[in-house]
Structure 1
Amino acid sequence: MVAALVYVVGMRIALGMAALGRPAYINLGRDTALPADRTVEAMRAASFEVLDAAYAAGIRWVDAARSYGRAEEFVAAWLADRGVTDVTVSSKWGYEYTADWRPDAEVHEVKEHSLARFERQWTETRALLEVGLYQVHSLTGDSPLFTDRDLQARMADIGVPVGFSTSGPAQVDTIRRAFDIEVGGRRLFSSVQSTFNLLETSAGPALAEAHAEGARVMLKEVMANGRLAMRPPGPVADIALRHGVGPDAVAMAGALAQPWADLVLSGAASVAQLYANLMPVHLDTADHEMLRDLAEPPGQYWATRSALTWT
């Protein structure tokens, strides 16, 4: 019943694997959604359950990254086991997973946007998966990618569309600069995946511009790493109560309401979370008015995110 109910919105929703591919992450509410024993086998089984539910709900896009622990491996195994051929998989390079499956690791991932890392991680990704999009992970204004012409040329030459994801308080500038990069007279990037949610809306103008110019726009962290679901502001809680859904459905609806958003990622860590994310909500004018002033200054939002604990 739930699967049929959410099928209509499934085609604009993708499943993000950040919370499922490794034993620790920063999302609030994840710790109780996952198996208590977070062995590789247990996390693989949890991933399969969520992937099955997402597919049944009409979701046909799955997003992973080299730094999401074994996410690429889990997705590849699920595709092979289920014989699925109609799902697009995107992945990302630039961060390396360094925790060695230890939830208490001091450092979980390390960022490096170099040609050497791209070559190695692209080789690793394509050994596991046929991806429809390969993205620079968390591009920021200080990335050497902006000046490394050899790296730009190599990315343009892999035979797969390339994009980038963004993080941090300067997403707008990063998005606009990245779409100015050209290789051989053609724009390098065809897709952008940015953090956008009811608390962090700063990237909106640049994302609308990118969409208008033909780029694919993907929204990530629409639950604000669980803050909107587990600690909802008053207006979100009130709207959820009025519509008879959870606050996560309201957060998802707020992202889906953006006309320039082509795909909205659910970072669900369990089937229950996924179904709660996907409950359809039609936000009316009064709802939008209540939600309009929730956005935090970008610096404040990203400082709060940086303080979240890996669990």
Structure 2
Amino acid sequence: GGEPHEVKDHSLAHLEGQQEETRGLLGEHLRLYQIHSATLESGVLENGAVLDRLRSLREERGWRIGLSLSGVAQGATLEKALATGVFDSVQATWNLLEQSAGPMLEKAREAGLEVIVKEGVANGRILRRPELVKAAEAMGVAPDSLALGAIMAQPFKPMVLSGAVTAAQLESNLGAVSAAEKLKEDGGQALQQLMAEMRVEPAAYWKER
């Protein structure tokens, strides 16, 4: 079956070692401390010792505590995380293909959490979708601008990670700000249509990823 590409250790011992290393490297510059790729399977959201330590780090050091999500169960994982009352921020995958976390991201925002969105262009593959290209041409914007603008226009008001690796990509990505405004002009009808046309089942998205 091959080796997993990433091994996650959400134990208390690992947390203790890593938070000391992080503090040593970043000192007073650290504002947000995240659990990377929290899942239901990892059990971290049921680990009272880890959750208590995260609470104490927030109180003692003023760190905001966050978690990043991945996989088909993002919504369910976030629901469980919200119930703990530990987290100030959530980073999740949401794009025009994989929209399943949307309702829980709205609840997170309503609960006061900062929402950060990753994989806004689905690691580039969303840009090849004819529905997106056609809609972008009709609106007079670049496909990546439209894809990211559609995220910025969501009710959970996310911070959207660009993912750009060149100056040209970043320049194009910045067009998302005006694209988001255009998507709001007709009461959001164009946005809803685009979302309906491009949505895929989460299982299919994560399998292809």
Query: Which TM-score bucket, shorter chain as reference?
Result: 0.7 to 0.9
TM superposition score normalised by structure 1: 0.59
Within 2, Cα distance between the matches of 1:290 and 1:222? 15
Of the candidates 39, 55, 68, which is equivalent to residue 165 of structure 1? 68
Aligned AA (2:44): L
Within 5 Å, give how 1:122-133 maps onto structure 2.
Answer: 122-129=19-26, 130-133=29-32
Task: Give 4+ residue runs of structure 1 displaced > 4 Å after superposition.
Answer: none
- Does residue 1:221 correspond to 2:125, yes or no? no
User: What is the number of equivalent residue pairs in this alignment?
Assistant: 193
How much has 1:110 moved relative to structure 2? 2.2
Within 1, Cα distance between the matches of 2:22 and 2:5? 19
- Does residue 1:242 correspond to 2:146, yes or no? no
Within 5 Å, give how 1:58-137 maps onto structure 2.
Answer: 109-129=6-26, 130-137=29-36
TM superposition score normalised by structure 2: 0.86
Aligned AA (1:156): R
How much has 1:304 moved relative to structure 2? 0.6
Within 5 Å, give how 1:284-295 maps onto structure 2.
Answer: 284=186, 285-286=189-190, 288-295=192-199
Q: Which has the higher helix share?
A: 2
Within 2, Cα distance between the matches of 1:118 and 1:268? 30
- State the secondary structure of the residue aligned to 2:7: strand
Q: Where does residue 299 of structure 1 map in the other structure?
A: 203
Give CA-to-partner distance per residue, 1:30-59, whole Å, 9 cap, x none: xxxxxxxxxxxxxxxxxxxxxxxxxxxxxx
How much has 1:107 moved relative to structure 2? 6.5
Greater RCO (CA < 8 Å, at least 6 residues apart) = 1
Q: Is the 8 A contact 1:219 1:261 kept in 2?
A: no
How much has 1:274 moved relative to structure 2? 1.0
For residues 194 and 149 of structure 1, do their structure 2 counterparts lie closer, same or farther at Cα, with a shift above 3 Å needed?
Answer: same
Query: Unpaired runs of 5+ in structure 2?
Result: none
Query: Unpaired runs of 5+ in structure 1?
Result: 1-105, 182-186, 306-311
Q: Percent identical across equivalent pairs?
A: 42
- State the secondary structure of the residue aligned to 1:175: helix
Q: Where does residue 94 of structure 2 map in the other structure?
A: 196
Q: Where does residue 150 of structure 2 map in the other structure?
A: 254
- Does residue 1:209 correspond to 2:83, yes or no? no
Within 2, Cα distance between the matches of 1:287 and 1:166? 24
Give CA-to-partner distance per residue, 1:1-41, whole Å, 9 cap, x none: xxxxxxxxxxxxxxxxxxxxxxxxxxxxxxxxxxxxxxxxx
